[in-house]
Structure formats: structure tokens, C-alpha cells
Amino acid sequence: MSNWYSESSPLERRTFWASFGGWALDALDVQMFGLAIPALIAAFGISKADAGLLGSVTLFFGAFGGWFGGWFGGALGDRFGRVKALQITVATFALATFACAFAMTYTQLLVLKAIQGLGFGAEWACGAVLMAEIIRPEHRGKALGSVQSAWAVGWGAAVLLSALVFTYAPADIAWRLLFALGLLPALLIIFIRRGLKEPPRAVAAEKTPFFATLSGIFHRDVLRSTLIGGLFGIGAHGGYAALTTFLPTYLREVRHLSVLGSSGYLAVIIVAFFCGCVTSGIISDRIGRRANVALFATACIVTVLIYIFAPLTNGQMLVLGFPLGFFSAGIPASMAALFSELYPAGVRGTGVGFCYNFGRIVSAAFPFLVGFLSDHIGLGPAIGIDAALAYSLVLIAVLLLPETRGKVFEQTAATRV
């Protein structure tokens, strides 16, 4: 990261840290749900299939909210500015996560998770496009890959907080305390409001009617990118959801690890995820988006199958956790740069928001499938089959997309001050 960062302007650095912080705090909020599943199962007396259904319904409504928020929020960014939209979306997901701590019924939790998804999906779209337009083309992959590594920081913070909360607080209130900590991202708004400059939007984007911006991603010139980008999003989110939603439960109930013990295994995966994001960004700028994603998707399929199906000891699983986390990071680390480079300025935010969040909607089925299959073939095989299937979709999609490395955006040079 040091080479491209040292060459960056003050504006590029400020934008990087604002996006990095927002993405880390996104992960903190989102990962809390997966870590709380064992406590929710015990508190409400539900089966793994029921928990999977809860996860899928929550993910679906959150994804629908995120899709609408990302699409609508991306369009707002196209029309009125990225920074303003970013402030609103960060506040939305932070306050919704905090409110989850006070949910008394499943219905209340579902509604709050949907609102969280609205803010989360929109925040990613606005932040990704803001970064893509500010950073110079030759460093776009590295910068956005480094931003994606912030997910590992937030994920690690969630695991650490979960270990502390569930160790020192009763399980029936520990998950509530965990969600209450989700208010922390709201503090980022103070920083976002300072020092960031709006990238200049194309004149065409300013004159285009708002709803024409929303529908512009289905124009024949970009329709192929929209459809294949949506398929890419399904595979990327589906693989991640299948692998991580039930992974804490798998480590505790199948591998019989304690909360602190499973946190150690997750820590290895999280550190590897951070390294994988940064590495993927570097490779992406060197060999291209398509080759990079194909490499990581293939490695993901092989590694997941070995991790789940091979007769590994706990020690071997700990070691294999590093390549598992490393390779699974390369795909999401490529999404922001690739999706941003598929669209012209007038519909860039809209297109990025749609591709990213449409994948979240369809991938909502994967946690339920894992929970359902686990009752018939076991939790481990269910995770492995679903994850491998999802990553295969990524491999198919990226082979159908054009190479976009080095694409020069409109008027980006004026923002480097």
C-alpha cells in the first residue's frame, strides 16, 4: 500500500481513510448477526434451519433495502453528490443496528435489519464510486482493494467484542449489548463532513432526469454489464454468506470449540482476509480484473472444499484457515473497481449499487439452504457445497465481462488537490 499511498494527494488520502473507516464499521455491524446466532438459537429455542431461515429473511429484506438503497442512493450520488449521500447512509445503518439491541420479537428484528440493509447497501455504493472517481486509474485497484481490507478490521473488531461480551455477560443479554455497540459508526459522520471534496459530475449527469438515471443501467449500451454484473454479485455474496453465516456455529457445535477457541480460528481467517484484499488489489492492477478474479475464484472453490470435506485436525484447520480467508478476500476486493469501470459517469453510482445489491438479494437464499441441508447431510458439507456453487458463479460471470483495467474516468484529474 505504501507506494501508491505515498504518491497520493491529500484529497486522495482523506477520501481513502473516510471510505476505509466506513467500510470497517459496516463490517462491525453486519458480522455481529452471524456471531450472535448461537445465542439466538438458545434464547428462542429454534433449530438451525429456523436460524437459517431467520438469517435468509433478514438478509433478503436487508438486501432488498440495500439494493433499493444502493440503487436509489447510487442514483442520488449520481445526481446530487457522493459525499452527501454517504453521510446519510452511514447514519442509517448505525442507528438501525443500535436499535436491534432493543428488539423484543422476530418481527421487530426483521424490520430493523431491513433498515440496516438500506443504509449498508447505499453506503457501499456511494463510498465505492467516490473512491473510484477520486483515485487515479493506475492505482484504482490497489486503493479499492485496500479499502475492502477494512472489512477484515471491522470483522475482527466484531469477533473481539463478541468474545468479550459473551465471556463476561449473560448470553441472554450479551447479544443485545453487541448490537448496541453498532452505534459507533455514527461517529464517522463527523469525519466524513470534514475535508472531503465532491468529485465533479459530468454535465450530462446533472441534466439527466432523476428517474432516467435510475433506469439508465438497463439501456442497451450497458445492459450486458448490468446482467452479468448482477450474476457476479450473486456468486460473490452467496459464497461469503454460505461460508461465514454459520462458520462460528460450525466451529463451536461441530468442531466443539469454545467461544474463545473459535475466535482464534476466526482470527486467522480475518487476518488472511485483510492480506488477501490488499494482495488482490495489487494483482488486479498488474494482470487485469478478469484474470485476478478468475484466479481467486478458482482458489476459493478448491480451498473451501478441502477445509470442509478433508479429514483435518483442529490444528490443520487453523493452518488452512489462512488460505481460506486469503482467497475469499480476492473476489470482494475486486468488485468496487470492476463495477465502477463498467459504467459511464451518469449512471455509475446507480450501476454499482444495483450489481452489488442485486447479488445480495438472491444470495439471501444461501443461509437458508445451508441450514436446511445441514439437517440432512450435516452442517459442514452444507457449507462446503453452497460456497463452492456460489464461487463457481463468480468464475462464470467474470469470464463473460470485458477487461476494464486502467479505464480513465471523466474529469477525475481536477479532484486531485
For the ranges 108-122, 180-194, 285-299, the one whose mean pLDDT is highest: 285-299
Residue 213: what pLDDT? 53
> What mean pLDDT do residues 165-185 have?
82
User: With left for phi above 0 and alpha for psi between -120 and 50, is residue 45 left, alpha or beta?
Assistant: left
Confidence at residue 228, expressed as pLDDT on a 0 to 100 scale: 93
Location of C-alpha cell 487453523: 318
Tell me the average pLDDT of the chain.
77
- The reported pLDDT for the residue numbered 62 is 54
Helices (H) and strands (E) in the chain, counts: 19, 0
User: Mean of the pLDDT values across residues 169-182?
Assistant: 83
Can you spell out the DSSP letters for 122-189?
HHHHHHHHHHHHHS-GGGHHHHHHHHHTHHHHHHHHHHHHHHHHHHHS-HHHHHHHHHHGGGGGGGHH
pLDDT in tens, 326-335: 998 888 888 8
144 pLDDT band, cuts 50/70/90, is confident
399 vs 213: which has the higher pLDDT: 399
Question: What pLDDT does 313 receive?
Answer: 80
The fraction of the chain above a pLDDT of 70, given in percent, is 76
Give tens-digit pLDDT for 402-417: 888 877 776 544 344 4
Q: List the domains of the chain with CATH numbers.
A: 10-181+214-407 (1.20.1250.20)
Q: What is the pLDDT of residues 328-383, one digit of tens each?
A: 888 888 888 888 888 887 777 778 878 887 887 787 778 778 878 888 888 888 88
Helix axes 140-148, 10-44, angle to 10 degrees: 30
**pLDDT given for residue 416 in this prediction:** 44
In the chain, what percentage of residues exceed pLDDT 90?
Answer: 9
CB 357 within 8 A of CB 233: yes
Kindly report the pTM of this predicted structure.
Answer: 0.72
pLDDT at res. 198: 66
pLDDT at 193: 62
pLDDT value for 204: 43
- Output the pLDDT for position 60: 63
Which distant-in-sequence residues (6+ apart) come within 8 Å of 132 by Cβ? Answer: 140, 144, 336, 337, 340, 341, 348, 409
pLDDT in tens, 268-325: 878 888 999 999 989 998 999 999 999 999 999 999 888 888 887 877 877 888 898 8
Residue 112 reports pLDDT greater than 50: yes
DSSP string, 34-99: HHHHHHHHHHHT--HHHHHHHHHHHHHHHHHHHHHHHHHHHHHHHHH-HHHHHHHHHHHHHHHHHH
What is residue 275's predicted lDDT score, i.e. its pLDDT? 92
Assign 398 a pLDDT band (cuts: 50, 70, 90).
very high
pLDDT tens, residue by residue, 204-260: 444 455 445 567 788 888 889 889 998 998 999 888 888 777 777 777 777 766 555
Closest CA to 81 of 306, 268, 345: 345
Which range has the worst mean pLDDT, 44-53, 125-134, 226-235, 272-281? Answer: 44-53
Res 199: pLDDT:
65
